[in-house]
Structures are given as structure tokens and as C-alpha cells.
Structure 1
Amino acid sequence: MDMKKRITLEVRNRSPAEIVELVVDNSRSADGEVEGLTDEFKELEFLSLVNVGLNSLSKLPSLPKLRKLELSDNNLSGSLETLSEKCPNLTYLNLSGNKIKELSTVEALQHLKSLQSLDLFNCEITSLEDYRDSVFELLPQVTYLDGFDQEDNEAPDSEDEDEDGAGPTSEYDEEDEDEDGSEGGQGGRGFQVNRPDQDEEDYAEDEEEDTAIAIAAAVHGHKRKRDEDDEGEEDEDDEDD
């Protein structure tokens, strides 16, 4: 699916100005450029363009609120200066699996003053001597490179932070919680509260029915025995005659 159509499907009937997160991974860019994104996506904070065939970022629109940008597994080898112009508030940038070879290419990220985490894993630049020290020196604002700081301390997992946060992570989760936790839960508790009373009533009715059957059986047995005794007496009288 081409990128433009994928973005249309992701947005659906919403206004681009309402979109905060947008993921179009594995879609296709016809000419190696960003397609379907416009300056109307002014509230966008997270954008993922993984494996979409990008060769350039020159057509990236202005995204002033963008904080996190995923660009891994593309064919980017330059044009990174566009990021500081169009996305000046980036704090996280993933460029792993691209064709970045030289430190001069990364130098274009110096103007991203808020950039804290940069990922260049699986790029040729990582094979350079003193690669990590050079990048940290070139980009002093960066705390984590390829997931680790200068002392090799691992970066905190953003997903774990989300899990620790309060509230549901999506509307779907919230609906499930309402169904299972409130309506469904109350229904379950109501069923459990009412069920014993119902069972007691059913048990009482069954017990009364069993008692009635037992009494009827006893009366019938007594009557039958009395009839048999009467027949026995009549037989004795006949023999005496």
C-alpha cells in the first residue's frame, strides 16, 4: 500500500489537526519522499515511517510538536538538516538501518537542541573508529546513543514508563475495562449474590416435593400392605370353610 493511501486510512474521518500519533510502517513511497503528510498535522508528536523506502526527507512538512521520529530501515544517506528545520523539538530519533556513513552527515543534527536519544544501529557509521565518542562529542545534547549513554548505562524503556502511568493506554482498553470492571463486574457480583437465594428456594421446593413423594409412597405402601393382609385373612376364612 502506498504511503499516501495508508495515511488516509489511518486518519479516517478525523481532521489532520487532531492526530497526535501516526504509524505508517511498511507502506511504500513512490519516489522515495514523504507523501501524504502536510503542515495540517501540526499536533503530531509521534511519527513512525519504518521501512517505507525513503531516500530523502526534503518533503517532510513542518511538524513543530513532533517529539519522537522513527525512520529505521530506509535508504537515507543525508538531508538530515531538514529535521532541524521542520521538527525542531525532536527528543528521540531512530535512524538505524539507513545508509549513513560519515560523521559529517550526523553533524546536521547539531541544531536539534532537545535531542536526547539517537539510534544509528546497523548504519555504516558505527564501524568508524571511536564512533561513539565522536558522536557524543559532536552532539553534546544527546544522552543516549544506540540505547546507551557514555557510561554504557541503558536508556529507560519508554514502554515501561507508559505501563507505570495512570489510566488506560487506548480507548479500546478503557472500554474493555468498563465492560469487565464495572458493568460486567457488577453483573457478576449481582449474579453471585442472587444465586444462593435462588438455590435455597429451589432446594426448599425440591425438599418439599421429595417429602410429599415420600409421604405418598409410605401411604401407598401402608395401604398395599393392609390390602394384602385383608386378602390373607379372606384366604384363611375360605380354607376354614
Structure 2
Amino acid sequence: MEMKKRISLELRNRSPAEVAELVVDNCRSSDGEVEGLTDEFKELEFLSMVNVGLSSLSKLPSLPKLRKLELSDNNISGALETLAEKCPHLTYLNLSGNKIKELSNVEALQNLKSLRSLDLFNCEITTLEEYRESVFELLPQVTYLDGFDQEDNEAPDSEADDEDEDEDGAGPPADYEDDEEGEEEEEEEGSEGAEVGLSFLMKQGVQEEEDDYAEEEDEDEPAAVRGEKRKRDVEDEGDDDDDDDDD
């Protein structure tokens, strides 16, 4: 599909001024130039033209808000001064898989003062001796080259950072945790109460059994024996009375 037609389809009944992101990967540029993009895309912040057969950026329109530009797997060899003129606020530029061979080919990127990440992977320039040191020296504003900084620290992945924040924020709400703790405390109190009640009932039952047993023993004694006991008790009481009279 031609680039111009692809861009028209990507608009999806929107006006160019409403588009912030545009992806036209794997379409075809008829003459190696940018086609279908105009100055009307003034709100565009992300543009991806991967593998579209570009050999020149001379017809790139003015895109003042563009921050990220994907141009990998094309036939671009130089003339990058257009980028500083048309996209002065670029922070990320991917030129991997193009025909950039010399440091002089990227020298024009010095004017992209906001450029922080540059990708030249799979370009012939990467075979130069001290390639990384030379590019960092030529473009001091660049922090990450081919995904790594000067100390070989990998560039952060914004998507991964977002996932980590979601995981850190995961978990049941505080109210839910409080409810669970309250339920556990109630269960413990209930179980303690049940143990106390059971213990009391068992003790009460034992006492009742002892009382019943004592009553049964009294009933089992012969009437004569019980009468003899009563007689002795009466005599003992009488003796006590006599002693009181003597005094």
C-alpha cells in the first residue's frame, strides 16, 4: 500500500490536527520520499515509518511537537539536518538498519538539543573503531546509544516501570484487612468463651454426680443404722446441755 493512502486510512475520519500518534510501518514510498504528511499534523508527537523504503527526509513536514521518530529499516544514508529544522524537539530517534556509515552522517544531529536516545544498531557506522565513544563525544546531549549509556547501563523501559508500580500498589484495601482481623479476633473470643462454658458445665456435672452419690449412700444404709446415728446425735446434744447446767 502506498504511504499516502495508508496515512489517509490511519486518520479514521479525524482531521490531521487531532492526531498525536501515527504508525505507517511497512507501506511503500513511491520515490523514497515522505508522502501524505503535511504541516497540518501539528499535534503529532509519535511517528513510526519503519520499512517504508525511505531514502530521504527532505519532504518531511514541520512537526513541532514530535518527540519520538521511528525510521528503522529504511535506506537513509545522511542529510539528517532536516530533522533539526522540522522536528526540533525530538528526544528519541531510531535509525537502526539504515545506510549510515560515517560519523559525518550523524553530525547534523548536534542541533537536536533535546535528543536523549539514538539508535544506530545494524548500521555500518557501528563497525567503526571506538564507535560508541566517538558518538557520545560528537553528540554530548545523547544519554543512550543503541539502548545503553556510556557506562553500559540499559535504558529504562517505561512500560516495565508502569507494571512495577501496579504490582507495588496491588493488595486488598485497608478496610478489607481490618475486617479480616476483626473476624479473627471474634472467632478467638468465641472459642475461648465456648471453652470456659464447657469447663463450667463439666465441673457442675461432676459436683451434681457427687451429691447424688452421697444421697444414694444415705439411702442405701439400713434404717436401724440411720436410727442409731440419730440417737447418738441426740444424746450428744443432751450431754452438752447438762454440762451447761453444771456451769
Q: Kindly tell me: are residues 161 and 38 of structure 1, through their superposed partners in 2, closer, same or farther at Cα, counting changes over 3 Å?
A: farther
Q: CA separation in 1, counterparts of 2:125 and 2:142?
A: 17
Q: How far off its partner does 1:164 sit?
A: 5.9
Q: Give the match for residue 144 of structure 1.
A: 144
**SS of residue matched to 1:4:** helix
TM-score by length of 2: 0.66
Note the 1:44-83 alignment, pairs <5 A: 44-83=44-83
Aligned to 2:20: 20
- Return the letter of the residue paired with 2:57: L
- % identical equivalent positions: 86
* Cα deviation digits, residues 3-43 of structure 1 (max 9, x gap): 00000000021010000000000000000000000000000
Q: Describe how 1:156-171 pairs up with structure 2 within 5 A.
A: 156-161=156-161, 163=163
Task: Name the amino acid aligned to 2:117.
Answer: S
1:96/1:32 CA distance change after superposition, 3 Å: same
Q: Check 1:99–1:17 CA distance in 2 against 1; reply closer, same or farther (3 A cut).
A: same
Alignment of 1:57-206 (within 5 A): 57-161=57-161, 163=163
* Counterpart residue identity of residue 140, structure 1: P
Map 1:20-39 to 2 at 5 A.
20-39=20-39
Q: Distance in 2 between matches of 1:12 and 1:63?
A: 20
User: Which residue does the alignment assign to 2:192?
Assistant: none
Deviation at 1:91, TM superposition (A): 0.2
Residue of structure 2 in register with 1:41 after alignment: 41
Question: C-alpha distance in 1, partners of 2:162/2:91?
Answer: 17
Aligned length: 166
Q: Tell me, which stretches of 5 or more residues in structure 1 are unaligned?
A: 167-241
| 1:113-172, Cα deviation, whole Å (9 max, x unpaired) | 000000000000000000000000000000000000000000011332455678xxxxxx
CA–CA distance in structure 1, aligned partners of residues 10 and 164 of structure 2:
27
| Greater shift in the superposed pair: 50-59 or 152-161 | 152-161
Q: Which residue of 1 aligns with 2:3?
A: 3
**Equivalent residue number for residue 233 of structure 2:** none
In structure 2, do the counterparts of structure 1 residues 73 and 165 end up closer, same or farther at CA, with 3 Å as the change threshold? farther
Distance 1:41 1:161 in 2: 30
Between the aligned partners of 1:46 and 1:162, the Cα distance in structure 2 is 19
1:162–1:32 CA distance, 2 compared to 1 (3 A): farther
| Alpha-carbon distance between aligned partners in 1 of 2:109 and 2:164, rounded to the nearest angstrom | 31
Change (3 A) 1:40 1:163: farther
Larger Rg: 2
CA separation in 1, counterparts of 2:76 and 2:22?
20
Q: Distance in 1 between matches of 2:2 and 2:162?
A: 31
Give the gaps of 5 or more residues in structure 2: 167-247
TM-score by length of 1: 0.67
Cα distance in 2 between the residues matched to 1:95 and 1:155:
17
Calculate the aligned-residue CA RMSD, in Å: 1.2
